Structure 1
Amino acid sequence: MRRILSILAVSSVLLLAGCATKTRSDALTTTLTAYGSTLRWGDFQSAAQFIEPAARAAHPMSKLDIARYQQVRVSEYDAGAGPVPTGDFDVQQTAQISIVNLHTQSERTIVDHQTWHYDEKTKHWWLTSGLPDITQD
C-alpha cells in the first residue's frame, strides 16, 4: 500500500510539473506571437509593454527613442528558428527585422537578440533585453 501511495505521489508531481511546463510553453507561444505582430505593425510603443515592468520603469523610452521608432516602418519580421531555452524560465530568440526609413525610403535589416524571462508569480513572459536597436548598421 505504501508503495502504491508513493508511486501515486510521484506521478502527481510529474503530472503537475508537465502541466506547468505546458502552460509556460503556451504562454511563451502566445507572447512571442503577439510581440512579433506588434513589431510587424511598427507599434514600438505597444511593443514596449512587453518589457519587464521594473526595467521599463527604470529605463523609459525617451522622446528621441520614440522619434527614431516613428521614423521607420517595419517591412519584415522573421523570428527564424524560434526561441531557444537557456534555463527553466528563460529563452532567447534572434529575429531579423527589415525596416524602411520613411524619409529616405532605404531598407535595411537589423538583428534583434531577444531575451525572455518567465515570471512565475504573474504567469507571464517578459522581454528583458529591451526593444530592437534600430540605430545599428
Structure 2
Amino acid sequence: MHRLLTLLALLTVLLLAGCASDRRNQALTTTLNAYASTVRWGDFQTALQFVDPKVREEHPPTPLEMSRYTQFRVSGYDDGQGPAASGENEVRQVAQIGLVNINTQAERTVIDRQTWRYDPEKNHWWLTSGLPKIDTE
C-alpha cells in the first residue's frame, strides 16, 4: 500500500510539472509571436513593453534612441530556428530584422540577439536583452 501511495504521489508531481511546462511553453510561443508581430509592424514603442521592467528601469531608452526607430520601416523579421533553452527559465533567440531607412530608402539587415526570462509566478516571459540595436549610419 505504501508503494502504491508513493507511486501515485510521484505520478501527480510529474503530471503537475508537465502542466507547468506546457503553460510555460504556451506563454513563450504566445509572447514570441506577439513580439515578432509588433516588431514587424515597426511599433517599437509597444515592443518596449516586452522588455523586462527591471531592465527598462535600469537602462531606459532616451527619447533620441526611441526616435531613431521612427527613421526605419521594417521590411522583414526572421526568427530562424526559433528559441533555444539556455537555462531553466531562459531562452535565447536570434532574429534577422530587415530595415529600410525612410529617408534614403537604403535597406539593411540587423541581427537581434534576444534573451528571454520566464517569471513563473506571473507565467510571463520578459525580454532582458532590450530592443534591437539599430544604427542610423
TM-score, normalised by the number of residues in structure 2: 0.97
* Whole-angstrom CA distance in 2 between matches of 1:67 and 1:49: 16
Match of 2:65 in 1: 65
Is residue 2:5 matched to residue 1:15? no
* Whole-angstrom CA distance in 1 between matches of 2:136 and 2:101: 13
* Whole-angstrom CA distance in 2 between matches of 1:58 and 1:88: 24
Q: Which runs of 5+ in 2 are unaligned?
A: none
Match of 1:86 in 2: 86
Match of 1:132 in 2: 132
TM-score, normalised by the number of residues in structure 1: 0.97
Structure 1: 4+ residue segments shifted above 2 A: none
Match of 2:55 in 1: 55
Given that 1:95 and 1:111 are in contact with CA atoms closer than 8 Å, whether structure 2 keeps it comes out as yes
Q: Which runs of 5+ in 1 are unaligned?
A: none
Q: Residue by residue, what CA displacement relative to the aligned partner does 1:59-86 show, whole Å, maximum 9, x if unpaired?
A: 2221111110000010000000000001
Identity of paired residues, percent? 57
Aligned CA RMSD, in angstroms, stands at 1.1
> In terms of mean alpha carbon deviation, does 39-48 or 61-70 score higher?
61-70
> In terms of mean alpha carbon deviation, does 64-73 or 23-32 score higher?
64-73
